[in-house]
Amino acid sequence: MHALNSYDYAIIRVVPGVERGECVNVGVILFCRTLDFLGAGIHVEPALLTALAPALDLDAVQRYLDHIVLICKGSAEAGSIGQLSPSERFHWLVSPRSTIIQTSPVHCGLCSDPEAALRHLLKTMVYR
């Protein structure tokens, strides 16, 4: 049996009408310090977002979500935030915001494989 490692995660949500508070889960950010893992998985259902907000710019939303993935990877394309340590990037990503793209409170879990944990969270929290 593989050793279990603790991880923190947050659900990425699109809140098309911030004043209404309605949201759609579109991804997960997972950070496992002991395995030096920071990753994000994204899955957008355009029809669902369009049903909540017909005027929502889906291309702009997708660009912002893609940027989250770049930040997690520590990509140079992510700018100065992408150059921070994985822990700093995670905490920057999950800090509370009142914008269209928000994250849930941070939750924790145990895993031996953070990639598998990320896939499981996407399957249970995001995919319909």
pLDDT digits (tens, 9 = 90+) for 96-124: 988 899 999 999 999 999 999 999 999 99
CA-CA distance, 84 to 66, in Å (whole number)? 18
Angle of helix 86-93 relative to helix 58-73, nearest 10 degrees?
Answer: 150
Q: How many CB atoms lie within 10 A of CB 54?
A: 8
Global pTM value: 0.94
pLDDT category of residue 8 using cuts at 50, 70 and 90: very high
How confident is the model over 49-74, as a mean pLDDT? 95
Share of the chain above pLDDT 90, in %: 90
State residue 103's pLDDT score. Answer: 97
User: Is residue 92's pLDDT more than 80?
Assistant: yes
Average pLDDT, integer, range 51-68: 95
Domain boundaries, the chain: 5-125
pLDDT at 1 over 70: no
Residue 27: closest CA among 128, 105, 125: 125
